[in-house]
Structure formats: structure tokens, C-alpha cells
Chain A
Amino acid sequence: DGGITQSPKYLFRKEGQNVTLSCEQNLNHDAMYWYRQDPGQGLRLIYYSQIVNDFQKGDIAEGYSVSREKKESFPLTVTSAQKNPTAFYLCASSKERGGPTDTQYFGPGTRLTVL
């Protein structure tokens, strides 16, 4: 079955450590996204990528980094510079960004807790 996988489902990190969240899709989508979700805040866009080896900052990119070396994969690193990293992180993909094929499909999410 085609879809998006995120791992791990739960992640715990000590303050001052970097951590990388995995996102893989087998939908053959060009565009991929990372969102952060906090209670009452809805979804906020962290980074997106429209094509391999290219990515753009979203609304809240500070303290995060990404790479897009393969079409199927879009890992997110939460760095120690992110001041409040505890949140639920969602990865999504779409055939393209903007336009009629920008229907985004979501992974199951990773809950990150900083201890």
C-alpha cells in the first residue's frame, strides 16, 4: 500500500541534543512538508521541499533543519537551538505544491518530548 511513514512514533530527547525525525513516502510525490502541531495552534509549516535537493523555509523554521537527498525521504532535524521543541510533528506529501494536485497526505506523526 502507498503511504507515508514516520518514525519513531514517540521520541524523548534531553535538552541540548539534536534529534532527527524520519519521513518516508512511496507515493511518488515531488513535494514534501513538515508541520508542527501544538494544542490550540493548528498546523504550522516548518519546511517544505518541492523537488529533490531543494527545500524552503516555512513559517517557523528557526531551530530546525532538513535535507532532501532522495525523492522518498525528507528527514527533519530538531536542533538544540529550537527553544521549545516538545510538540507533535507531522510529515506530509503532495504531487506538487500549489495548484490542483496539492492535496496533501499525512503520516501518523511523531511526538517529541524534551526532558
Chain B
Amino acid sequence: AQSVTQPDIHITVSEGASLELRCNYSYGATPYLFWYVQSPGQGLQLLLKYFSGDTLVQGIKGFEAEFKRSQSSFNLRKPSVHWSDAAEYFCAVGARGAGGGADGLTFGKGTHLIIQP
């Protein structure tokens, strides 16, 4: 079964500074990888996903993530954060293979992003 680790429970970044949120996964084959964002009291919104091809993936709100097979990582980056980026961020990994018995998504425990003025 797959697993996801987000090593940082909280991260504080100054507004305008760059951001990198870490995600490490464990899975025997090439996984599907996702980043979601959650504002307080809200559902999760998909930021970006990686299935195959180019290992640098662009998402919404100026976010990008890079899949590094050798490091089993899928870190999320943004060159300049805005106060509205303050939220909880979740990395998720999914198994390959169509339906019926294949493992679904496994989520990390999340990283809480705080933006300092």
C-alpha cells in the first residue's frame, strides 16, 4: 500500500517570499500525485496533479510541483506567496491500475501555511 509523508506540520513564510512544501511518498511503481489546498472550514480544492510526462507540473494560483522519482518526492512551490495563500495543504498519492481493487488516494496529514505580513 502507498503512503505519504508531509514532514512539516507548520510553515511560516513572509508575504512575497518563495515557498516550498515537502511531500514524500512510498509506492512500488510510478504513482499518481496530487496537491490539494483547504481554507478553514472548507472542502479541498485541487491545485495540481501529476500522472505522467513532464515532471514539472503547473497548477492553479501560480503553484507548481516537481516529481522526482529518485527522491520519491513531489514538492509544491510558489515563487511569491500572497496573504490569501494561508491555508492547509495536502499531498496525496494514488495507485495505478483501473478501479476494482486498486488502492484509492492516500493523503498526507497536511502542512499548515502561515503568511507573515
A interface residues, Cβ below 8 angstroms from B:
4, 6, 31, 33, 40-43, 45, 48, 50, 88, 90, 92, 96-100, 102-109, 111
> In the complex, how many angstroms separate the beta carbon of A84 from the nearest chain B beta carbon?
18
Q: Is the CB of A99 within 8 A of B43?
A: no
Q: Is the CB of A103 within 8 A of B104?
A: no
Measured between beta carbons, the chain A residues less than 8 angstroms from B49 are 103
The interface bits of chain B over 84-117 (1 if a CB of A lies within 8 angstroms of the residue's CB, else 0) are 0000001010111111111111011110000000
Q: Is the CB of B98 within 8 A of A98?
A: yes
13 contacts between A and B (CB under 8 A): A4-B43, A31-B99, A42-B107, A42-B108, A43-B44, A90-B44, A97-B104, A98-B102, A102-B105, A104-B92, A105-B46, A106-B44, A109-B42
The interface bits of chain B over 15-56 (1 if a CB of A lies within 8 angstroms of the residue's CB, else 0) are 000000000000000001010100001111110010100000
Measured between beta carbons, the chain A residues less than 8 angstroms from B92 are 104
B9 partner, pick from A40, A97, A102, A106, beta carbons under 8 A: A40
Q: Is the CB of B104 within 8 A of A45?
A: yes
Closest B residue to A33 by beta carbon equals: B104
B interface residues, Cβ below 8 angstroms from A:
9, 32, 34, 36, 41-46, 49, 51, 90, 92, 94-105, 107-110
A98-B110 contact, Cβ under 8 Å, with A103-B34, A104-B105, A106-B44: no
A40-B109 contact, Cβ under 8 Å, with A98-B98, A106-B44, A109-B43: yes
Q: Is the CB of B42 within 8 A of A108?
A: yes
A43 partner, pick from B41, B94, B97, B107, beta carbons under 8 A: B107
Q: Is the CB of A102 within 8 A of B109?
A: no
Measured between beta carbons, the chain B residues less than 8 angstroms from A109 are 41-43
Q: CA of A31 to CA of B94 in the docked complex: distance in angstroms?
A: 14
Measured between beta carbons, the chain A residues less than 8 angstroms from B51 are 100
Q: Is the CB of A98 within 8 A of B108?
A: no
Measured between beta carbons, the chain B residues less than 8 angstroms from A105 are 46
Q: CA of A104 to CA of B93 in the docked complex: distance in angstroms?
A: 11
